[in-house]
Structure 1
Amino acid sequence: MEKFRILYAEDDATIALLTKDALEEKYQVTHCQNGEDALGCFNTTNFDICVLDIMMPKMDGFALAEAIRKKNNDIPIIFLSAKTLKEDRIRGLKLGADDYLVKPFSMEELELKIQVFIKRSQKNKITETHWYQIGTLSFDAKNYTVTSSDQQVVLTQREAELLQLFLENKNEVLKREVILKKLWGSDDYFLGRSLDVFISRLRKILASQSGITIENLHGIGFKLRYDL
């Protein structure tokens, strides 16, 4: 059976050697020392997941992730960084990253996250219903787009899955841990922060629809109130 392919971008030679050596027990790893080389590899090779450092020469991880997302909206992206500021994490998530590990990270945690994301990316998460009408908006769950009369917004895969989950359970309470396990396979603390970022973006997209809101039920979860 062919191994899953990982694009690994890291300019620190020591960290790269240790990480690549550990991951290659299970995966086929392509390591690049800067963002430009990594983008070149991405454009010529099919990968299953991207593991990206942020502080790199020529092109940093943020710019690399943005370029990757323009070409592929589905592939999981995990950031590795010594940058611990909340703003950096939020920026990474807004660019479409699926997770963010702060250095020094444990190899066990990285491997677990890679396994979860690859497993989920191999499944067909879109149900037979692909099209949803949300007031005056049209949501294409298969192609991750929300379209109005004058514009089209492209969602990340995780945002599309989250919106679809809400629509399939409109006017019902969805517990936070249920959402996290459904979409990520885990309900750890940082994934909860990721969920908040995605919900904030969905709220902005749905803001034009006066009868639709995503309510926050403190300590419980969320509910898509659909009064149209």
Structure 2
Amino acid sequence: MKILYVEDEMSLAKVVRESLQSRTYEVLHLQDGVGLLEHYLQFKPDICLFDVMLPVKDGFVLAKEIRAINPEIPIIFITSKVQTNDVLKGFGVGGNDYIKKPFSLEELIVRINNLYKLTSNLNATDLKVFKIGKYEFWPEKLELNFNGEVRRISYREGQLLHELVRNKNEVVNRKHILDSLWGDDNFFNSRNLDVYITKLRQYFRQDEKVQIITLKAVGYRLVDS
């Protein structure tokens, strides 16, 4: 697996890079985002790992640049900025996961592996469309279609919606979602899930029959009738 890693804190970057390389990952480390697209096109990574607070261009700007040329590559943010607004902004620009500093290398590696595996599985999915009320959901395209109007959704939104629609009208356990999509049901990941559920509900506002029902302390049920 090839990882594009942007981090300006050199001592941390050295530890992370060497740890990943010792596990046979190929890592390209950049201290800032200058020339990012050129490096990206030459290196052709499988996953991007961005610090948020960077000189010249922050990690959110870098994610936007990458998303403009590849809407599907997994992007993980590593940052100490964990206020709700920061998390929402990170997901809004196309981030798939958000890791809080300080973090353990074991957690980072688990998240990288889980996200890469889920990406590979979703990309391997046969071309298929799901009807959700008046909407059409294309998992492999990460698109929601409503009366000809197409909305691109993020990879993580697509994962979550795919999990719900495959079990439409049934309760999907919250812990199962967290373990499957994030690899852990800790508090921070739980907040991330809440953010994504809120965003998906907003996407379906044009069809009042489509609802994502919360069963407190249990899970969610997607219904469209």
TM-score by length of 2: 0.90
The CA deviation at 1:189 is 2.4
Choose from 31, 34, 39 the match for 2:32: 34
Query: Partner of 1:14 in structure 2?
Result: 11
**Structure 1 segment 52-201 matched on structure 2, within 5 A:** 52-124=50-122, 127-128=125-126, 130-149=128-147, 151-201=149-199
Is the CA contact (8 Å cut-off) linking 1:174 and 1:223 kept in structure 2? Answer: yes
CA distance change for structure 1 residues 70 and 107 in 2, over 3 Å: closer, same or farther? Answer: same
CA distance change for structure 1 residues 203 and 219 in 2, over 3 Å: closer, same or farther? Answer: same
65-74 or 200-209: bigger deviation:
65-74
Is the CA contact (8 Å cut-off) linking 2:7 and 2:30 kept in structure 1? Answer: yes
The CA deviation at 1:65 is 1.0
Is the CA contact (8 Å cut-off) linking 1:10 and 1:16 kept in structure 2? Answer: yes
Q: What's the Cα RMSD here?
A: 1.9
Q: Distance in 1 between matches of 2:74 and 2:58?
A: 18
Q: Distance in 2 between matches of 1:8 and 1:55?
A: 13
Query: Partner of 2:20 in structure 1?
Result: 23
**Structure 1 segment 209-224 matched on structure 2, within 5 A:** 209-224=207-222
Is the CA contact (8 Å cut-off) linking 1:6 and 1:49 kept in structure 2? Answer: yes
CA distance change for structure 1 residues 55 and 39 in 2, over 3 Å: closer, same or farther? Answer: farther
CA distance change for structure 1 residues 20 and 128 in 2, over 3 Å: closer, same or farther? Answer: closer
Q: Distance in 2 between matches of 1:209 and 1:85?
A: 31
The CA deviation at 1:171 is 1.5
1:51 paired with 2:49, answer yes
Q: Distance in 2 between matches of 1:108 and 1:181?
A: 16
TM-score by length of 1: 0.89
Instruction: Give the % identical residues.
Output: 35
206-215 or 115-124: bigger deviation:
115-124
Deviations 1:77-99 (A, max 9, x none): 11111223222122112222222
Number of matched pairs? 224
User: Counterpart of 2:140 in 1: which secondary structure?
Assistant: coil
Is the CA contact (8 Å cut-off) linking 2:20 and 2:27 kept in structure 1? Answer: yes
Amino acid at match of 2:94: G
The CA deviation at 1:204 is 0.8
The CA deviation at 1:220 is 1.0
The CA deviation at 1:185 is 3.4
Amino acid at match of 1:178: H
Gaps of 5+ in 1: none
Q: Distance in 1 between matches of 2:123 and 2:180?
A: 10
Gaps of 5+ in 2: none
The CA deviation at 1:43 is 2.9
CA distance change for structure 1 residues 151 and 63 in 2, over 3 Å: closer, same or farther? Answer: same
Choose from 2, 6, 25 the match for 1:5: 2
